[in-house]
Structure 1
């Protein structure tokens, strides 16, 4: 237990890199606020994307999964990819080309949203719709990578570890959160999306999920 808790303590190099990243993000956000003449609104919605990306990035970089065989690696990679596709779909990264409102296909575009929210790649084709917000892409990739590591841990442990993988409630939280809070893609508009407060809940769930998958208390 103490070894797993110690993994959350950053070393000197991690702290230095973290401070540099936070400073860069602060300058980027300050530049955006000055250039956009933004007034009013909740500042926390401008910070949430950095929370997603920083937490996911730190956990992924500090996780070093080890596969005993190529078969384990391929199996874990397949599960990770499938997981990314599931959370990406329910999280609004992609979906059917024709939405419920019947809006016709309009091709690709770039939405210059606030840092982290954008620049977002939007595509509305006949069969496929994409809303690739940077923080969601980074966040869901981080989740998928940690699920990959969790599968490898379970594969190399005893039966209790395998059972732990299938009882990993944290793995399903992002999917459940997006369904319960109604988090939509960029196509619905940033203001409409955050007005309901759904990202308050989703960000909290995301951070807890990353922490649990990084710690992986159900495995081993």
Structure 2
């Protein structure tokens, strides 16, 4: 068997879900549907069409894909030095995503201290807020889990790069696409925040960022180029 066929076979094997994954996936999805049903029953929010339903589902896409990637990823055994480098890059990358994605921001004119917002839909909440005179932290569950998954995949990619520089480079470059808010900011800066393009970017930003997130997790997990 030639090298290309072997590579495709290995990639197809990684792509094929295990029976245990399917079973747990069904359990998790049913639990999330139950959560949404309970929230819709007890909250004052009302679903008003497909658009509202999408906003309730986006967080679960991030959470499910992120947790799945973390559980299924097995970092390559390597030296302590490479592990430290990978950890440093992963922590730094998480920090960049947290800042760009709005989890970490500058101080705002509000009382300092912790607060918890319980009234948000599942996945969006419960949201934890912390404000100080120097910075503000806003922890939305779906973003925290999603960014943590990406950082972990970066860690695994860096360890893999010890044996394949091309694979590691492609994986790290694909991470750049996760920073959708940066792209949105650039577009609005170039075309003006009042243009139709800018309006479309921000109107669809959650959907687009979700697509980019899933695609990036796929690239970092399977790394079809260079394996």
TM-score by length of 2: 0.82
Name which of 15, 31, 43 aligns with 2:53. 43
C-alpha change, 1:142 and 1:3, in structure 2 (3 Å) is same
Deviation, structure 1 residue 49: 0.3
Find out whether 1:32 has 2:42 as its counterpart: no
Name which of 175, 189, 196 aligns with 1:171. 175
5+ long unaligned stretches in structure 2: 1-7, 186-200
Instruction: Check the 8 A contact 2:161/2:169 in 1, yes or no.
Output: no
Q: CA separation in 2, counterparts of 1:210 and 1:54? A: 11
Larger Rg: 2
C-alpha change, 1:79 and 1:195, in structure 2 (3 Å) is closer
Q: CA separation in 1, counterparts of 2:103 and 2:45? A: 27
Partner of 1:149: 156
Query: Aligned with 2:98: secondary structure?
Result: helix
Task: Name the one with the larger helix percent.
Answer: 2
Instruction: Check the 8 A contact 1:181/1:202 in 2, yes or no.
Output: no
Instruction: Check the 8 A contact 2:86/2:158 in 1, yes or no.
Output: yes
Q: How many residues align?
A: 200
Which portions of structure 1, spanning 4 or more consecutive aligned residues, are displaced by more than 4 angstroms? Answer: none
Q: CA separation in 2, counterparts of 1:89 and 1:154? A: 26
Deviation, structure 1 residue 217: 2.6
Deviation, structure 1 residue 195: 7.3
For 1:146-194, what per-residue CA distance to the aligned partner results, in whole angstroms no more than 9, with x for missing partners?
A: 0111001111x1xxx214423443111112x121235xxxxxxxxxxx9
Name which of 101, 122, 126 aligns with 1:119. 126
Partner of 1:110: 116
TM-score by length of 1: 0.85
Find out whether 1:58 has 2:62 as its counterpart: no
Partner of 2:106: 96
| RMSD across aligned positions (CA) | 1.8
Deviation, structure 1 residue 19: 0.8
